[in-house]
Structures are given as C-alpha cells and as structure tokens.
Amino acid sequence: MGLGSPESTTNALSGGVAGAANIFTGFPFDTVKVRLQASPRGTYAGPIDCTRSILKYEGVRGLYRGLAAPLVGGALETGISYAVYTYTLGQLTAPGELPSLTFAVPAAAGVAGVILSFVLSPFELVKCRLQMGTRGTPHYHSGPRQCLQHLLKTEGALGLTRGLKATIAREAPGNAIFFTVYETLRRSFPGKTAPDNPNPSLWELAKDSASAVGCGGLAGTIMWSAVLPLDVAKTRIQTAYPGSVNDIGIWQNLQLMYWQGGTWDSIFDHQIRSAE
C-alpha cells in the first residue's frame, strides 16, 4: 500500500479530523499542563489551583489561548502519524501476516514519530509560548502571527527549530510505546470485530468502537507516563528565551528538573487527555 493509495488517504483524513477534535476538547487540560511544566516551582499548588488562577485572571478564554496553532498542527500530526505508520507497517509486514509486536509495530511507529516531529514542533513552539503568555509577561502576544513574528525577529529562522530535538526524543519512543501497547491490547481485549466479518452488525460495531477507545486510553496513559519527563523538557526549552535558565539541552533540562522536583506535576492533565 503506497502513501497515495485510497486507504492511506482515508487514514490521513480520518486521523486529521480526529486530531482536530481531540485538540479542541482537550486543550484546556493542555494549557494547564504547559503552565505547570514551564512556570517556576511553587507558582501553582497543582492542576486545580492553576485552573482556578487562569479562570480568575484570564477567564475561559485563557484556557484556550493559543488554540489556533495546535488545531492545525494537531490535525496534521494525527493524519501524518497514522498515514506514515500504516504505510511503514505495510512495508515491514509480509502479506497475510500479523505485524510483529516486537519489531514491525514499534519500528513503524518510531519512524512516524520522527517524521511528524518536523511538522509538529513549530506548531507546538507557538502554542506553548501563547499558552504561557499573560499581559505583562514576555510571552504575551495577541495571536499566532504576532508570536511568530516576534520569534523570527528575536531568534531568526533557526528559532523555529527550538525544541525539535526534544520533540523527536518524545515522539519516537512515545509513538512506539503507544502503538505497541495499543496493538497488543486490541489483540487481547474482547469486542474487536473479526477480520473475516465484512458486514458487522450495529452491536458488533459498537463493541468494536468501545474496545478501540478503551485500548487507546490505556495505551495513551502508559505512553505519557513513560515520556512525561521528555515532554516537560520540551516545554521548558520551547518557552525559554536565549540566555534564560531553561535555554539548555534536553539532558541538562532533565538534570535541572531532577534537582528542582515537580517533574510529575502535570501527569494528571496528561492522563485525562490520553483517555479522551
């Protein structure tokens, strides 16, 4: 199956729509997550305190600050991820055989993670900076366009690559973990429609959907639990300005996070989003 095949195109379009819907419904949790990850230790007592602070001083709109960039980026992310994953998986699997859970699935997912990072990283860079922006702070911008203009003016075109390595470091293993766990669970959990059943009943379709949602939620929870420190490092790198305390590499940020503590403060918001 090629990248231009009808099935591949369907996967990309379906993934894109699903990605956009997921971004919109989960964005308030993502905003809280970014604030917890990038704010100085002790700024908020936890997710609830952070949410209350945003609603008190910025209103509901504060929870959706920066939505435009990830709404586009998230749609591209999911579409590219599934399209590349499906194509690569087909290349690594013999016709008629189940994909190997020890090689083909994690390898295909890892490749998809690397490729989509180049598209995803600039969108997340703008998103994170907008989410951290409140009036009177260096990150305050009226919208994605002004944020992008400021980025290009202060850091040049290379500024768009800020956090790219950290994004790859998160997405490659994260994708491999997610798809491997998901495929393993789908083969084990009840409710999946048999491949040789071309005309499943409405009840069978409902059971299959419920099984897929449950497996996806569990896979997302496991994945985020594993890569959360890398996600925190990525957020701190992307919200840092040249010369600031977090304007350092991935490993240095991980070391700094270890000494400061609080690496897992945003795990609650990640787990809610992974279950969506």
Residue 79 scores a pLDDT above 90: no
Over residues 96-146, the pLDDT tens digits come to 899 999 999 999 999 999 999 999 999 999 999 998 876 556 667 878 889
Q: What is the 3-state secondary structure (H, E, C) of 181-215?
A: HHHHHHHHCCCCCCCCCCCCCHHHHHHHHHHHHHH
Q: Which helix or strand (DSSP H or E) is residue 76 part of? A: helix 68-92
pLDDT of 260: 79
- Token match 């599934």: residue? 82
Residue 192 scores a pLDDT above 80: no
46: amino acid identity, one letter = G
Tell me how far apart the alpha carbons of residues 276 and 224 are, in angstroms, rounded to a whole number: 13
Decide if 273 contacts 30 (C-beta within 8 A).
Answer: yes
pLDDT of 14: 60
Over residues 26-38, the pLDDT tens digits come to 899 999 999 998 8
Cα dihedral 56, 60, 64, 68 sign:
negative
Residue 120's Cβ-side half-sphere holds a number of Cα atoms within 13 Å equal to 26
pLDDT of 138: 63
Cα–Cα nearest to 137, from 230, 58, 60, 30:
58
Tell me how far apart the alpha carbons of residues 81 and 114 are, in angstroms, rounded to a whole number: 9
